[in-house]
């Protein structure tokens, strides 16, 4: 019982360390917002000039808003996981690993801390909802925040899993850049999932990030007053052989992936020196 208390305390301490680092690093908060804001207001505004007639005057920034939310969470979660490699380079990780606590507590604390900071980063983009034509509905904010929290946890678990055996920060960032950008672009964050070529349709369906972006977009479009034809065009949902995948199943897929990657990360850290 005493060991369990020590482990729970270790989870809390690691989580608090992530929160303190996030609060003290204002430059990181600002720089993590630049890319999603650029995509939302620069790319979104540019595409709106060529899609206005096709979507009945619905601003294309509104469509891209869920993608910008996901992007904000994506980069913050990966920066949080990258600190593991940083701690390894400077010896702090070794001190944590030799502490009299279970290694699973360190991994869980890291994932919860990364998920919390990434979700808070997403809240900053969530605050821009009214600017892009999304209503400030309490139910929308609560549900989308919960979905972002789940996405942030899964992404942090993915980052911790990949960081478990990487010793150089440059290698970690290069690997994740190679993996995450294709996953993001194939998730439907920047384009509708309807009427795609067959090969691209297959890639979007096997992209795990698709099942995190789509529930956010569904919730956003549920609060818009748009013609049904526009909603069907821009928010067709994810289908498997014509069957519309329900939101609960999409979220279950994301949660299952996060849990699996958390388990792999714990196993990797148990093997670490």
Residues 102-143 have pLDDT tens digits of 778 888 888 898 899 989 888 889 998 888 888 888 999 999
**pTM summary value:** 0.88
Q: Is the pLDDT of residue 41 over 70?
A: yes
Quote the pLDDT of residue 253. Answer: 96
pLDDT top residue among 189 and 253: 253
Name the residue among 82, 64, 70 with its Cα closest to residue 25. Answer: 82
**Is residue 111 a contact partner of residue 119, using CB atoms and an 8 Å limit?**
no
DSSP-based three-state secondary structure for 243: strand
Percentage of the chain beyond pLDDT 90 is: 25
* pLDDT grade for 92, boundaries at 50, 70 and 90: low
Mean pLDDT of 229-247: 87
Q: Is the pLDDT of residue 225 over 90?
A: no
Terminal Cα-to-Cα distance of the chain (whole angstroms): 26
CB atoms within 10 A of CB 70: 26
Structure tokens at 208: 């795990």
Angstrom distance (rounded) from CA 245 to CA 222: 16
Q: Is the pLDDT of residue 53 over 60?
A: no
Mean pLDDT of 28-34: 78
Residues in a beta bridge with 240: 243
Which stretch of DSSP H or E encloses residue 59? none
Angstrom distance (rounded) from CA 12 to CA 131: 36
Percentage of the chain beyond pLDDT 70 is: 90
Quote the pLDDT of residue 99. Answer: 65
Quote the pLDDT of residue 154. Answer: 93
Strands 243-244 and 239-240: antiparallel
pLDDT top residue among 95 and 5: 5
Quote the pLDDT of residue 22. Answer: 82
């Amino acid at each position: 019982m005493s060991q369990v208390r020590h482990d729970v305390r270790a989870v809390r301490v690691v989580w608090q360390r992530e929160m303190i680092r996030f609060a003290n690093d204002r430059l990181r908060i600002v720089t993590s917002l630049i890319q999603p804001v650029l995509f939302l207001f620069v790319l979104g505004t540019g595409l709106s000039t060529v899609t206005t007639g096709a979507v009945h005057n619905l601003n294309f920034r509104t469509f891209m808003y869920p993608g910008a939310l996901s992007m904000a969470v994506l980069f913050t979660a990966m920066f949080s996981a990258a600190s593991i490699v940083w701690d390894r380079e400077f010896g702090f990780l070794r001190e944590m690993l030799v502490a009299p606590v279970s290694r699973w507590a360190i991994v869980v604390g890291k994932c919860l801390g990364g998920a919390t900071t990434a979700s808070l980063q997403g809240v900053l983009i969530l605050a821009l909802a009214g600017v892009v034509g999304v209503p400030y509905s309490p139910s929308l904010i609560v549900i989308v925040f919960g979905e972002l929290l789940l996405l942030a946890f899964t992404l942090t678990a993915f980052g911790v899993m990949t960081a478990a055996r990487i010793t150089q920060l440059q290698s970690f960032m290069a690997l994740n850049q190679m993996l995450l950008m294709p996953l993001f672009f194939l998730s439907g964050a920047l384009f509708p999932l309807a009427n795609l070529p067959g090969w691209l349709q297959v890639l979007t369906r096997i992209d795990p990030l698709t099942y995190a972006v789509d529930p956010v977009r569904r919730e956003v479009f549920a609060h818009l007053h748009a013609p049904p034809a526009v909603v069907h065009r821009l928010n067709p949902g994810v289908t498997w052989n014509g069957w519309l995948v329900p939101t609960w199943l999409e979220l279950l897929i994301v949660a299952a992936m996060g849990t699996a990657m958390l388990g792999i990360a714990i196993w990797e850290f148990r093997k670490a020196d």
